[in-house]
Each structure stands twice: as structure tokens, then as C-alpha cells.
Structure 1
Amino acid sequence: MSKLFLPILLVVGFAVWKVLDYLQLPNTFSILLILFTALSGVLWCYHRFSVLPRRRRQIARTEQRTGQTLSDEEKAQIEPIGEGEEFISSLFPVLAFVLILRSFVFEPFQIPSQSMEPTLRVGDFIVVEKYAYGIKDPVFQNTLVETGNVQRGDVVVFKAPPQPNVDYIKRVIGIGGDRVLYNELERKLTIIYAKDGEPCEENCESKEFAYSQPQQNDEFKAIIGRNPDGSFIYGPSMLELTETGDVDHQIHWFPEPISEGYRYKDYEKQEYYVTEWIVPAGQYFMMGDNRNMSEDSRFWGFVPEKNIVGKATYIWLSLDKKPNEWPTGIRSERLFTKIK
């Protein structure tokens, strides 16, 4: 039975993972990591505090009775531990370290799409600070200890409202109480800041974002469709410019404005290509830096505080690749750069 322990455990683990994935629960990986850490911890404690002391006593009695020192092979036959059980229990220190690190300190994240270009590119591997906005439990994401607040302009990872089992990464544009105005024709943002966490009605402070002169960047192409084999069809080069708002950063535009206002959600009013959203308390309005190639709060609504995973801080690896293609090298100039 001991020889079957590890294969059975792997089969059960795979089955649990498929069930969690089917239910589309958030934090599936965290749940599996907790379960395996708990199992290995129970085995580790059982072996360390029960099996091994009992084995040492049995070996001592046997050596005393026979008057001979047992060889390693002979000792292994006394109170033997199955290879599968021993392997799982030996993983406990490593799993416990990974669980604590990933749940409360740092979590790696890979950029899967073009929605944050040029700030973040497909193939970038980033570090997410889990403690930046509070210490949360790894399953239900309830805040245990408050450590900071989400700021306008932060780049954050969060559970996507339309798909809570999927992590998205976007930039925070508005926080609770802010009025976010987006001019679809001019592609410009204006924020009327909240007052005491509530929408401001008079004597309001506002910021109209400023934009540099767009420049064509041939390194970035717009995706306009797919070929029958599933590969992307690339269109014109993107326009790159600096957006100056709560922070200064680069963004991308299509060469020509695209009218998508009919798809916008949760807005207060919409007229003359200008859409206004009022961000509810405890929620956030997110946008991708690749403004015409980002599914964000304009299309699926606001992000609750509970969905926030952490703050994106550094790029620790960048593979030179395009969506759904194999890497062709490493972008060394992007290694260990701070995300702005």
C-alpha cells in the first residue's frame, strides 16, 4: 500500500484541481497549496514525533538484546516508512515556506496579453507585492492587517470581476467616490476627485490628464483578427505617447479613434462621446495602458477591494515573445526594472 501512496495522492490532487477549476473558484492554486502543505505537515509531525522516536527505541532495544550494532540496512527494516509518505513529509518545510511567501509577501505573475503595453509586455514576469495593501488570508481574501491603500496610478493585479478565477493586471484610474470622465473621440481622461470618500458636488478638485504628441512605434502592432490556424493578424503600428495624470507613464493608441461607447457599462451618463462613471465606495476603476486593446472597467465594471491581489512592482524577467508564440530571446534591458 505504501508504494501506491504517492500515485494515489497525485490522482486525488489532480481530481481536486479539476473540480476547483470547474467551479471557477478564485485562488484555486492557493487552496491546493494549503491542502498539500497541511497533508505534508501532518505526515511530517507524525513521523518526527511518533514514528522516528518509536523507531529509535526499537533499534536501541534490538541492539541491546543482540549485543551488536545494526547496519543501516537492518535499521531501515525496523518501523519502515513508505517512500511516498517520506517524500511527501520531506516537502513540508519547502511547501510551508512557499505558502507563506506567496500568500503574504510576494507572488510571481506573467503578463499574458497586450493590454498593458508599453508599460508591460507579453513575456514579462513581474513581482507582485501581496502586503502592499494589507495582509489577507489566501483563500477568502479578507484583510487581516491593513498596511496601505490603493493609490491612483498604481499598477495592480486583481481577480477579474467577470472571471474571479482569473488574475488581471491594470492601472488604477479612480478610487471610491471619484468621477471618471473619458472622452472617446479625443481619448482623454478627466478625474473629479472624491471628497471625504464621496462624489464631490461643489468646490471640487479635478485633474484633466495631459498627453504628449503621439509617435508611431513600429515595434508594436495592433491585433485586428486571427488566421484560420489561430495565429494573430497584425494591423497598423501603435501610437505611443506619455499620459500625465496622477502619475506619468507611457500609453498606446490605435492610429485612429475607435468608437466602443455602446459597450461601456455602469456609467452615470454618456453624451457627445464623453462617458462618466462614479466609482462606488470600496471599489476601483481600472484601465489598461494599451487603451484600444484592453478589456477593463469601461466594459465590465468596477473592481471591489476584496478582489485586489497586490501591487505590481518589478520586472524580474522578460522573454522576447509575442502572444501565443515561443520566446526568441531575453529582453535584457527590461530585467529588474521598476514598474511605473
Structure 2
Amino acid sequence: MVKTVNKERLMANFFLPILLVVGFAIWKVLDHFTLPNTFSILLIILTALSGILWCYHRFVVNPKRSRQITRIEQRTGKTLSAEEKQKVEPVSEGSEFVASIFPVLAFVLILRSFVFEPFQIPSGSMEPTLRIGDFLVVEKYAYGIKDPVFQNTLIETGKPQRGDVIVFKAPPQPNVDYIKRIVAIGGDRIRYNELDRKITLVYGENGKPCSENCEVKEFSYSEPVENKEFQFIIGQNPDGSLMYGPSPLETTESGDVEHKIHWYPEPISEGYRYKDYSTQDNYITEWTVPENQYFVMGDNRNNSEDSRFWGFVPEKNIVGKATYIWLSLDKKQNEWPTGIRSERIFQKIQ
């Protein structure tokens, strides 16, 4: 009997460490297979386990403990202290802890899956609109209520629009979230001139390419001005530190929305790397966007891996719309923060 009790106590003491080890192992397995929504899967598993334990404690353990306490008090004729009550039908602290966080986990799961998701800017591909160290609010419901694992749309709430800044599962790395700006939607034809780096858009009709009387928009640009607050990353030094090049030229691009972009001081010919284009003539490349897919680009045009290089973004890959900056740390890539950019906090993303 004593051995059985000691064994139960030993298992109780190791319940939480074992749970953490198992959770870490599951995460590494999912990460190895580069599955999308790994965090969501882990959160669902943990919430389900916590919910089972919560129900077990609430509807089985606690009523049993109450009955036992009542019997003991009736038999002894005295009221048990809080410490004595804890010794009646004891359960492991780890099990109690996991059960106790079920309401919190359920709230986080619902909030993160269907309402908002935080996102941190990891690189300079969206400068100057978004900077390294910016923390964003991503509206999950902006383009539909989706299931958190397979991303199938359950309830339609809207469609992505040209000019929206979106977070999405990267087609070349579905387990990684990217953030870019939508330039063209299904049916649109986008022309990009590498010499003057300007965009021309031929609007599609109901997701299909336009064939006659097409609406054409040539994006306009303000006079480029050097922005010395930023520098292009051109490589890595032998010690692992980043190697910086010249400062970018900043201009305001006016298309479906108006926003600032960065250009390299001189045009860079990268057409040989482009993918999925419908035509390519000298320095002008044209893409025709398939229905329910999107052509995205970074605002830092010469420092962004985007649809030009790896293709279109399927609607199913879209996580949500980036709407606000809720925190901005003053930092550079691969460096520790040195402060807070208070002027960027609660800034709406345009």
C-alpha cells in the first residue's frame, strides 16, 4: 500500500515536467515536417488536454473530495482545516496547474485563431512603412473566419484589396509567416519596369483578365530623396556582423493607395530571377494573377523577396490584415533593442 502511494506521489511530482517534455517533442516533430500553423496545433492540443483535466477535476475529483470531507467531518465531529482538506483525495500540483489555466488557454486560442494575432517585423523588406522591431496587430477576421489548422474559410467577412498589407504563409516556406503589400489581385495584369522601377496595373474583371475596354492605372511617384536614416544590407562580415551599403532613395508611390517605398540608388536588373511571369520583354515583366491568388511586393523594393521571385499567394495562405503597430522597439536586424520608438506606437498601417 505504501509503495503504491509513493508511486502515485512520484508520478504526481513529475506530471508537469513530463508534460513539458512531451510538448517540446511534439513541437520539434511538427517543426521537422515544416507544417504550417505549428503553434496553433500545439495550442489546440494543450487547450484540449487542459480542458479534459479541468472537467475531470470539476465533475469527478472535486465532488468526490467534498463527499469524503463531509464523511470525515461527520465521523470525527470536527471541522477540517484547509490544510487537512488538501490531504483528502489529493491530486498532483502539475495536474491542478494545467487544469487551472484552461480558461486562459481557451480565451487565447479563440482570440488568436479568430480575432487578433500578434506579429513582429523580422526584416527590412517593408521599410519605410514597417521597421525592424515593430510589433503589429493582425486582424484574423478581416478576410473570413477560418479554422486555425487547415485555414479553410468557415464564414466570409471580406476579400483582400489592392494596397492591403497582409501576413501570410510563405509559399516557399509554409511554416513561416511573411508580410507584404498586395499590389494585384486575381485577374489583374501587373507590369514592372526594372529601369524606372514603376508599376502599371491592368485591372481584371471578377477574377478574370480583362480583354477589352480595360481600366489601366500607371502608378505615379514623387521625386526620390535619399533617406539617411536607413541603409541597405549588402552582406555579412567574417565575424558574422552585417555589412551595410548605401542609403535608399525614398519616394511616395500613388496607386490604389498612397505610401512610401524605398529604392536602391541605381536600378538593379533581377529579371532573370523572376518567376511565373506571362511575358518578359527587355526590362518590362508582366504577370497575370490567377483567380483567388494575389501578387505581393515589399515596400523596400530592392530588398524584398516577394511574388516577383517565388510566385503568387493563394487566398488560403493569408493569415490576416496588418492594421496597427502596438509596440515599436528601436533596433536593427540581429541586434538587441536600444529603446522604444514611442512615436510609432498605435500608428495605423497605411
**Into which bin does the TM-score normalised by the smaller protein fall?**
over 0.9
Contact 2:297–2:308 (8 Å) recurs in 1: yes
Q: 1:208 aligns with which of 218, 233, 236?
A: 218
In the alignment, structure 1 residue 42 sits paired with structure 2 residue 37? no
Q: After TM superposition, give the deviation of residue 289 of structure 1 in Å.
A: 0.2
In the alignment, structure 1 residue 308 sits paired with structure 2 residue 318? yes
1:331 corresponds to which residue? 341
- Alpha-carbon distance in 1 for matches of 2:14, 2:342: 46
- Alpha-carbon distance in 1 for matches of 2:342, 2:325: 11
Q: Secondary structure at the match of 1:9?
A: helix
Q: Secondary structure at the match of 1:221?
A: coil
Contact 2:127–2:262 (8 Å) recurs in 1: yes
Q: 1:259-270 maps to which residues of 2 (within 5 A)?
A: 259-270=269-280
So what's the TM-score if we normalise by structure 1?
Answer: 0.99
Cα displacement string for residues 70-104 of structure 1 (whole angstroms, at most 9, x for unaligned residues): 11121111110110100100110110000000000
Amino acid at match of 1:325: E
Task: Please say which of residues 72-81 and 244-253 is displaced more in the overlay.
Answer: 72-81
- Alpha-carbon distance in 2 for matches of 1:111, 1:305: 21
In the alignment, structure 1 residue 284 sits paired with structure 2 residue 294? yes
Q: After TM superposition, give the deviation of residue 215 of structure 1 in Å.
A: 0.4
2:307 corresponds to which residue? 297
- Alpha-carbon distance in 2 for matches of 1:116, 1:71: 62
Q: After TM superposition, give the deviation of residue 10 of structure 1 in Å.
A: 0.5
In the alignment, structure 1 residue 185 sits paired with structure 2 residue 198? no
- Alpha-carbon distance in 2 for matches of 1:260, 1:269: 15
- Alpha-carbon distance in 1 for matches of 2:206, 2:23: 48
1:164 corresponds to which residue? 174
Q: 1:1-340 maps to which residues of 2 (within 5 A)?
A: 1-340=11-350
- Alpha-carbon distance in 1 for matches of 2:131, 2:83: 56
Cα displacement string for residues 165-222 of structure 1 (whole angstroms, at most 9, x for unaligned residues): 0000000001000001000111000110001221011100010000000000000101
Q: After TM superposition, give the deviation of residue 22 of structure 1 in Å.
A: 0.4
- Alpha-carbon distance in 2 for matches of 1:58, 1:278: 72
RMSD (Å), alpha carbons: 0.5
Q: After TM superposition, give the deviation of residue 278 of structure 1 in Å.
A: 0.3
Q: Secondary structure at the match of 2:90?
A: coil
- Alpha-carbon distance in 2 for matches of 1:23, 1:242: 41
Q: Provide runs of 4+ in structure 1 moved above 6 Å.
A: none
Q: After TM superposition, give the deviation of residue 17 of structure 1 in Å.
A: 0.4
2:7 corresponds to which residue? none
List alignment gaps of at least 5 residues for structure 1. Answer: none
How many residue pairs get aligned? The number is 340
List alignment gaps of at least 5 residues for structure 2. Answer: 1-10
So what's the TM-score if we normalise by structure 2?
Answer: 0.97
Provide the identity percentage.
77
Cα displacement string for residues 212-239 of structure 1 (whole angstroms, at most 9, x for unaligned residues): 0000000010111110121111111110
Amino acid at match of 1:319: L
- Alpha-carbon distance in 2 for matches of 1:196, 1:286: 19
- Alpha-carbon distance in 2 for matches of 1:82, 1:253: 60
- Alpha-carbon distance in 2 for matches of 1:203, 1:230: 54
- Alpha-carbon distance in 1 for matches of 2:327, 2:159: 27
Amino acid at match of 1:37: T
Q: After TM superposition, give the deviation of residue 60 of structure 1 in Å.
A: 0.5
- Alpha-carbon distance in 2 for matches of 1:41, 1:196: 45
Q: Secondary structure at the match of 1:199?
A: coil
- Alpha-carbon distance in 1 for matches of 2:206, 2:261: 30
- Alpha-carbon distance in 2 for matches of 1:73, 1:242: 69
Q: Secondary structure at the match of 2:232?
A: strand
Q: After TM superposition, give the deviation of residue 272 of structure 1 in Å.
A: 2.3
